[in-house]
Structure 1
Amino acid sequence: MEETELLHAFSEELRELLNPNAVEDAKLVQKGLILYRQGLVQQVTIEDRTVTAVVQDVTPVKVLLDLDFAGLSECSCPTEGLCRHQLAVFFSAFSKVSSVSDWVSDWREPIREQKSAAGWGMQTAKDLIKANGVLQPDYGRWVHSFEVSFDTLLASKQHTSPYVIPELFGIYERRLHASAPVEQEWRLLYELVGIVVSFRKLAALSERLGHDEATVKRAYLHVFHNLMEDTEELAVKIGVQSLPFAFDEFIERLKDDAYALLTCASGLEYERIYLYRLLWVHFFKKKPWREEELLKIHAGLKGLQDWENPLPLMAAGVHLNLLVGDDERALELVGLFSAAEIAPYMVYWIDYLSGLKAWRRVGPVIELFLQKVKPYLEALAGYHSCAAFVRNALRAVAPYCAESDRLDVYERALLAMLPYSFGEYEYLLFERGQFDRWGELQAFVGLDFYELPKERLKAVEKEQPEVLLAMLHQTAQREIDQKNRASYRMAVRHLKKLRTLYKKLKRVDDWQYFLDTLMERTKRLRAFHEECRRSKLIEG
C-alpha cells in the first residue's frame, strides 16, 4: 500500500476513534492542531508503514504512529492512549498528501448541520402531529402514517446531508410516538411496526442518497443500532404476553415487512440481517410460521437476478433452519459462503444456541466458525474492529468450552484469532504454568523483554528461566540493529541479564561461546564494543 493510501486509511481510523460531540475529543484535536500549526512537529519520517517525529512541546517528546494499527501508536509523554502529540504528528504527515483543514472541517461537520436542521424539522413534525392525531389499530393506516411522516421529514429534499439525518430521525421518532395508541398492548405492537418500517425506509433512503459505508458509519450508523436495541426490548415484551386474536392480521403483515428488510437495499447488510434475526427469534416464534418463511426465502433466492446479492436471503435461510432445528441444512448453507461473508453472523448463532444450552448443537457451529475466522480477520480492516470482533467471539465461544470441558477448543480459538486474542491467550498460558509456550507467544508478537510485567518475568525466571533466554537474545539483537549509543546501552543491559541467567543455568560455556561469536560479528560496531567494555561485559 502506498504512503498516501496508508495515511488516508489511518485518518479514517482516527475519525472512528474521535467523536466531534465529545468535549475531550474536541479539545484533543484542537491542541494537536495548535502544535502542528505552530510548527512544533519536527524530524518527520514516513517509512516501514510508520510515522516517527519529535514534537517540541513544553518538553520534547518522541512519537511513533503505526499506520496499520492506530492503537499501537506510541508517545513518550505520560498520557495514556491517543494524545495531542500523536494528533500533531498525524496532521503534519497528512498535510503532505491532503488538506488538514478539510479533514478537520469534515470531522466537525455533524455539529454544524445538526443545528441548522433542528428548527425546520420541529415545525414540520408539529404540522404532521396535528394532521394525524392518535392512530387507532389499523396496520395499513399505521404504515401509511409512518411513510408519509418519514418522507416529509427526511426524504423531501433532493440532497440531504448525512450529518442531519440523526437530528431529523429523532424528530420523526418523537412524532411517531406522539400518535401511538393509548392501550399498552397496541402501543407496543405499533412501536415495533414503526421500527421495522422506519429501518427499511432509512436503509432505502441511504442508498438513494448515495451514502457509502464509511459515510453512514461516521454520520448515522448509530441510528440503526438504536433501532436494533429497541426492537429486541419490544419483541421480548410482546413475546411474553399471550397475543390477542386481533393481532393475527398485524403479525401476517409484519412478517412481510420483516422479509422486506432483506431486499430493501444493497448496503447495511449486517444491520438488516441482524434486525430480521431478532424478530424471528423473539417475536415470530411459531414453527409453522418459520417453516412457511423458509419456503418464501427459497422462492426469493430462485427469483434473484444475477446482479442481486444473495447473502441476506442465504443468511436468513441459515437462521430459519437453526430455528426449526435443521442444523445439518444450516451448516450446509454456511459452507457455501466465503469466510469474509459469513463469519460475523456466526457469532450470533453461537450465542443463540448457547442461550438454549444446546451444547451438542453449538459444537459443530463453533468448529466451522474456527475454520473461517482467520481469513475473516485478515479481510477486516482496522485493528480496533478486529479486536472488538475477537472479544465478542471469545465471549460467545467460552460458555460451550466451560460446559463441555473443552479447553482445547478455547485454546484453538485463541490461536486462530492471534494477535487480537494475545491478552487472553497470554493470561491462559501463564496461569496454566506453560511458560515455554508463553515465551513463544511473546516472541511471536514481538514484545521486548523489558515491556513485559516484572512480576511475570520474576515468576518465569524462578520456575523456568531458560524460557527467558530466547526473549533476551531477540531483544538485545533488536537494540544492536538500531545502531545508536542509546540502543547499544540497552543492548548491554539485556546481555548482562543474559549472562546472569546462563550462570544460573550452569551454562557458562554456552554464554562465552555466544559472546565471542557476537563480538566477532559486530567487530565493526566500535561504539557498541565501547559500551560493552564500559559496562565490563568484556575485558578492556
Structure 2
Amino acid sequence: MESTPANELLHEFSEEMRELLNANAVEDAKLVQKGLMLYRQGMVQHVTIGDKTVTAVVQDVTPVKVELDLDFMALSECSCPTEGLCRHQLAVFFSAYSKVGSVSDWVTSFREPIREQKAVAGWGMQTAKDLIKANGVLKPDYSRWVHSFEVSFDTLLASKKYTSPYVVPELFGIYERRIHASAPVEQEWRLLYELVGIVVSFRKLAALSERLGHDEDTVKRAYLHLFHNLMDDAEDLAVKIGVQSLPFAFDEFIEKLKTDALELLTCASGLEYERIYLYRLLWVHFFKKKPWREDELLKIQAGLKGLQDWENPLPLMVAGVHVNLLVADDEKALKLIGQFGAAEIAPYMVYWIDYLSGLKAWRRVGPVIELFLQKVKAYLEVLGGYHSCAAFARNALRAVAPYCAEDDRLDLYERALLSMLPYSFGEYEYLLFERGQYDRWGELQAFVGLDFYDLPKDRLKIIEKERPEVLLAMLHQTAQREIDHKNRASYRLAVRHLKKLRTLYKKLKRVDDWQYFLDTLMERTKRLRAFHEECRRSKLIDI
C-alpha cells in the first residue's frame, strides 16, 4: 500500500494504542472487545481520514461522534459521557486501521503478552505490563517493584515524542491505574507497595518534567496537582503503616526506601518545595526509629560534601534541619536555620512550627517562631502576588496561634500580625477591634489606605458611639484623596465625607476646629472652582 503521512501516523497511532492498553488488565481487555464488536457489526459510519485526524459516527445505543487525534492520542474526543479512552474510539481506530493493516493481526499482537508471560524466564526481558502483573503472585521483592514501576513509567510517559505538558496528566493516570491494579493481595504488603510506588513515581515525574524543559508556571498550570495528590496519598499511607507494628520482613524494604527517599532531594532542580515536603512527611510518619534518623543525618552530611559546585545544597540542608528536629537536637537545627537567607528558609519553617505544636512541645516551638518572625517579612517581599502572600500569611498565623494561646503570648501573635502586614490585615483588624483598641484600629485602616465608606458599617457605628475622634483622621484622609482626583464626581464624594466630618466635630464639641480646618481647606483649594461649586451646592459653605 502507498505510504502517505496519514498512513504512517495511523501505524504510529496503533503502536501507541498497543502500549496504552494492557492485555492483562480486565478493563482494557473488555474495552478492546467492545470496540472490536462495534467495528465488526458495521456500526462505524462516515469515516474520514485526514492528515492528522480521523472522524466518524458510531451507531451505538445512541449515535456518537468521534475524532481521533493521530498526533496526540490524549486529545482524541468522543461525544459519549465516558472519560478518557472509550469503546467508540476503539471502534473508529479499528475501522481506520483496517485501511492500512490487519485488525486481526493487531488484536493477536495485543493479546500476545498473555502467552508470552509463561514463556519468558528473566525479569530483564519482560515488558512493563508483564512485570507489574507478576507482582501480585510472586514473593514481594523491592528491586522488582521499582524496576516494574520504572519500566512502566518509561513506556507510557518517557518514550513519547510529545512535549505538550497537558498530555502528562492523562498518561500518568493510566500509569497509576496500572500499578494499583497489580498491587500485592496482602494488605500489609499492598500498603508498602503503594508507598514505594509513590516515591518512585514522584521521582520519575520530577525528572521527566526537568528533561522536557517544563518551567514552574507550565507545571503549575498543567500537572502540579499530580505531585500534590502523590504527597497527600503518601501521607495517608505512611500514617496507616506507621501506626502498625512493622514485620521483620519489611526491614530490607525500609532500608531501600530510605535511600530512594533521600534521592528525592537531588533527583531534579525544580519542584523544590514539593520534593522536600514529601521527604519530610516520610520521616515524620514512617521512618520513626531514632537510629534510622541518626544514620540519616550522616547520609545528609555525606550528600552535602559530595555536591558539585553547580548543585543546589538547599534541599539537603533543609533535610538536615528537619531530621535534627526529629531527634530533638534543636540547638543544631536552629543553628542551621540561621545559615539560610530569610527568603530561602521561611516557607519551610511553618511545617516545623505545626509539627512541634502537634507534639505540644511548647518549650521547643517558641524559639522556632521567634526565628520565623525575623525572616517572614523578607520572604513575603520576594514571594510576589497578593493572593500567594495572603495564603501564606494565613497558614503561618494558623501555625503560630496554638503556641500563643497556650503560653498566653498575645504580644507574640500581634508581632506576627505586624510582620505580615498588609497580608494579615483581616486578622489584625479583627484582633484590635475585639480588644477595643480603636485608636490602633483606626491607624491600621489608615495604613492600608481604606476609604471611610469601605469600612464595615456595623463597626463604624460602634466606633462613632464609643470613640468618634478615631474616625476624624480617616475622614480627613478620604476627603483629601477624592479632592486630589480633580474631577466633578470625586468632588461630590469629597463633600459627602466633609459633611460627615462636620457632624463628628460638632458631636465632639470642636466646632472651632472644624471651622479652622474648613477655612484653611477653602483657601488651599481656591483655584478648584468645581470643588467650591459642589461645596456651595451642598451648603457646606455659604453661597
Measured against the shorter chain, the TM-score band is 0.7 to 0.9
Describe how 1:72-471 pairs up with structure 2 within 5 A.
114-116=74-76, 119=85, 128-129=128-129, 132-135=132-135, 136=138, 137-471=140-474
How far is 1:228 from its partner?
A: 0.2
Q: Partner residue of 2:526?
A: 523
Q: Where do 1:39-54 residues align within 5 Å?
A: none
Shift of 1:134: 3.9
Kindly indicate whether structure 1 or structure 2 has the higher relative contact order, using CA contacts under 8 Å at least 6 residues apart: 1
For the 8 Å contact 1:319–1:330, the answer to whether it is kept is yes
- Unpaired stretches in structure 2, ≥5 consecutive residues: 1-71, 78-83, 91-106, 114-127
Task: Tell me which amino acid in the other structure corresponds to 1:115.
Answer: L
Match of 1:98 in 2: none
8 Å CA contact retained: 2:414, 2:428: yes
Number of equivalenced pairs: 429
Structure 1 segments of 4 or more deviating over 2 A? 112-132
Q: Is the 8 A contact 1:239 1:283 kept in 2?
A: yes
SS in 1 for 2:163: coil
State how far apart, in whole Å, the 1-side matches of 2:354 and 2:393 are. 14
Give how far 1:483 is off.
1.1
**Contact 1:435–1:467 under 8 Å retained in 2:** yes
Flag structure 1 segments of 5+ consecutive residues without an equivalent: 1-111
Change (3 A) 1:130 1:453: same
Q: Give 1 or 2 for the bigger CA radius of gyration.
A: 2
Match of 1:495 in 2: 498
Which AA in structure 2 matches 1:133?
A: K
* SS of corresponding position for 2:278: helix
CA distance in structure 1 between the aligned counterparts of 2:515 and 2:435, rounded to whole angstroms: 34
Identity %: 85
Q: Residue 504 of structure 1: CA displacement?
A: 1.1
CA deviation after TM superposition for structure 1 residue 280, in Å? 0.3
Instruction: Evaluate the alpha carbon distance shift between residue 499 and residue 113 of structure 1 in structure 2; reply closer, same or farther with a 3 A threshold.
Output: farther
Distance across 1 between alignment mates of 2:457 and 2:528:
31
> Which range moves more in the overlay, 186-195 or 508-517?
508-517
Report how far residue 119 of structure 1 moved: 4.5
**One-letter identity of the residue aligned with 1:272:** R
Amino acid at match of 2:419: A
Distance 1:397 1:154 in 2: 42
Per-residue Cα deviation, 1:411-440 (whole angstroms, up to 9, x for no partner): 111111111111110000000000000000
- Which stretch has the larger CA shift, 153-162 or 376-385? 153-162
Counterparts of 1:412 and 1:282 in 2: how far apart (Å)? 32
1:253-286: CA deviation from partner (whole Å, max 9, x where unpaired): 0000000001101111000000000100000000
Q: How far apart are residue 130 of structure 1 and its match?
A: 5.1
2:366 partner amino acid: G
Q: Distance in 1 between matches of 2:221 and 2:132?
A: 34
- Whether the aligned pair in 1 keeps the contact of 2:432 and 2:438 (CA below 8 Å) is yes
1:158 Cα deviation after fit: 3.9
| CA distance in 1: counterparts of 2:227 and 2:259, whole angstroms | 20
8 Å CA contact 2:132–2:149 kept in 1: the answer is no
Letter in 2 for 1:513: Y
The residue number in structure 2 matching 1:100 is: none
* Residues 129, 178 of structure 1: 8 Å contact kept: no
Partner of 1:476 in structure 2?
Answer: 479
1:485 Cα deviation from its structure 2 partner: 1.4
Aligned equivalent of 1:533, options 513, 531, 536: 536
The 1:524–1:454 alpha-carbon spacing in structure 2 relative to 1, beyond 3 Å, is same
**CA distance in structure 2 between the aligned counterparts of 1:445 and 1:114, rounded to whole angstroms:** 48
Q: C-alpha separation between the residues in 1 aligned to 2:165 and 2:398?
A: 34
* TM-score normalised by length of structure 1: 0.77
> Does the 8 A contact of 2:74 with 2:170 survive in 1?
yes
1:510 aligned to 510, 513, 527, which one?
513
Deviation at 1:132, TM superposition (A): 3.6
SS in 2 for 1:160: coil
CA distance in 2, matches of 1:301, 1:387: 34
* Separation of aligned partners in 2, 1:209 and 1:129: 25
Shift of 1:113: 7.6
RMSD across aligned positions (CA): 1.9
Tell me if the contact between 1:502 and 1:511 (Cα under 8 Å) persists in the aligned partners: yes
Distance 1:114 1:450, change over 3 A: farther
User: Would the aligned equivalents of 2:132 and 2:179 in 1 still touch at CA under 8 Å?
Assistant: no
